[in-house]
Copies of this chain bind each other. A is one copy, B any other.
Amino acid sequence: MDLTHFDEEGRARMVDVSDKAETARMAIARGKITVKPETFERIRSGLIAKGDVLAVAQVAGIMAAKQTSQIIPMCHPLMITGAKLSFNLVEPDEVNIEAIVKVNGKTGIEMEALTAVSVAALTIYDMCKAMDKTMTIGDIYLVEKSGGKSGHYRSS
């Protein structure tokens, strides 16, 4: 299959989806940030006390989902109808991030979900970087998507 983002001359373009039908679409993406155990404890305690790194990361992720088409050059603008981020703390050093995004649109919404996860991870990094410079963001992938002609996809 060809890369649909290039035209016949090989130049980048925004793929023409004018004739595609609007369907209900959903995408789930995941990623994680690995931190020092002491950073992990600090983030976890924030869930209990008021200093809540994850609350800020969540807002950042949702706002980023809405800005995806302005961050990713060939990405179509879409009017997101729902976005939700959740975090799962896995001892001793991992914060797992999951984003679910929905839209009724002519094209898939996986970039919005992946961008939300990435920006949430970057925000966690930013808020913890004074105490930990060794954090690593990784394993960002598409878990599931539905809607559109290509149908349902689920990562194996």
Contacts and interface: CB of A to CB of B under 8 A. Distances in A.
A90 interface: no
Interface in A33-61: 42, 46-47, 49-56, 58-60
A95 interface: no
Each complex incorporates copies of this chain amounting to 6
**Which of A71, A78, A110, A135 gathers the greatest number of chain B CB atoms within 10 Å?**
A71
Contacts of A136: 139-141
B75 A126 contact: yes
Interface residues of A, number: 93
Contacts of A130: 1-5
B131 A2 contact: yes
Interface string A93-124: 00000000011111010110011001101110
Nearest to A4: B130
A83 B71 CA distance: 16
28 contacts: A1-B131, A3-B51, A11-B54, A12-B59, A13-B83, A13-B84, A13-B85, A14-B82, A16-B84, A16-B102, A31-B137, A55-B56, A55-B59, A59-B60, A62-B74, A66-B69, A72-B122, A78-B79, A79-B79, A110-B133, A114-B137, A133-B155, A134-B141, A136-B139, A137-B138, A137-B140, A138-B139, A138-B140
Interface of A: 1-7, 9-18, 20, 24, 31, 42, 46-47, 49-56, 58-60, 62-67, 69-86, 102-106, 108, 110-111, 114-115, 118-119, 121-123, 125-131, 133-142, 145, 153, 155
